[in-house]
Amino acid sequence: MQDIDVVAPNLKRRLSGVTATVVRLIPVQSRMIGIVTTGPGLPLELPHIPLTRAASLPRDRWRVWHARRNTEMALGLILRRVLRRRYRLLFTSAAQRAHTGFTRWLIRQQDALIATSPQAASYLERPATVILHGVDLSVFHPSPDREALRAQLGFAPGDIVIGCFGRIRAQKGVDLLVEAALRLFPSRPRAKLIFTGRVTADNQKFTDDLLARIKAAGLSDRIRFLGEVPWEQVVQNYQAIDLFAAPARWEGFGLTPLEAMACGVPSVGARVGAFETLIRDGETGSLVPRDDADALTEALAHWLDNDAARLAAGQAARAHVQANHAIEGEARAIVEVYRKLLA
């Protein structure tokens, strides 16, 4: 392992958006700077040190502690102030809401801040470097044999498949998308909808109620909840669908439309998170007002009913991501922040 310049902690065992960010960035950044992760629940192939080693690195020089959660900011402070480790403290924020008093205090203790969107930066009350997320184009790309992949996943020729991937809960607007499908699908026999993502105990009734509505409409074979699926299958689902929907009521950043567009799939997103920055309305997909089932239904109908427009938008989406949102650009921008802190 090369010299350690940066430690990127991940203090959450279950997969989350923050964990996914660490997993996809570290391999790219490790080619640019000496960076390691620490904490549970990370793939074995990532450069990793135990928390005990992160807490006992020699005091011979400064290193960066790059936190993305409150717990990680707090631990960084303990390492520096109590254990006297020489860490420069960096925090990345995706939240687009007012922070609690404790979070604001933690933020004031940081040496530098990154925000994942201009909207997130506006809530920090301190200067921040805005660095948009990118996607790994070597992972997210159109399938070389899309028809074979679709057959493997159980889609019939001629199906128009809408996808929505992420945890099943009201925040993600899952109920809005189900409502739109219930309105549209009776007159569009080619249309299907798949959801992937975990259902937590507190969202089980929410999900059961949606399933009951779908069953009552006779659409259980066309609107399906696949549950939490392996990462490889998530990528395959992106490559196989025809249209992606992200009707979230609020979102920190929201990477899923970008991943879909990298696979050549147009996206319909609500005007939340960074979706307005990522989706070019009418060119790579559609933007709709948040919490608006009527507007969502209208946008989905447009793309379901126009095969040529949908195909053209998918090609434009892939080109847009290639030109503006490759992960290498995100990684380089973050490493530049590291180097300034270490200078």
Q: What CATH number corresponds to the domain at position 257?
A: 3.40.50.2000
Helix (H, G, I), strand (E, B) or coil at 61: coil
Residue 82 is predicted with a pLDDT of 96
In a domain, 233, yes or no: yes
Q: Are strands 223-225 and 191-196 parallel, antiparallel or unpaired?
A: parallel
Residue 1 is predicted with a pLDDT of 57
Q: Is the dihedral of CA 208, 209, 212, 214 positive or negative?
A: negative
Residue 118 is predicted with a pLDDT of 87
Check whether 14 has a pLDDT greater than 80: no
The per-residue pLDDT for range 170-200, each reduced to its tens digit, is 999 999 999 999 999 999 999 999 999 999 9
Q: Give the residue, 119 or 112, on which the prediction is more confident.
A: 112
For residue 63, the enclosing domain spans 6-134+326-342
* Residues 202 and 248 placed together within one structural domain of the fold: yes
* Residues 181 and 119 placed together within one structural domain of the fold: no
Write down the pTM of the prediction.
0.83
Tell me the percentage of the chain whose pLDDT exceeds 90: 83
The per-residue pLDDT for range 270-313, each reduced to its tens digit, is 999 789 889 999 999 999 999 999 999 999 999 999 999 999 99
Residue 15 is predicted with a pLDDT of 63
* Residues 71 and 199 placed together within one structural domain of the fold: no
* Residues 51 and 77 placed together within one structural domain of the fold: yes
B/e letters for 192-215, b = 16+ CB within 10 Å, e = fewer, are bbbbbbebeeebeeebeebeeebe
* Residues 206 and 69 placed together within one structural domain of the fold: no
Residue 96 is predicted with a pLDDT of 82
Residue 254 is predicted with a pLDDT of 82
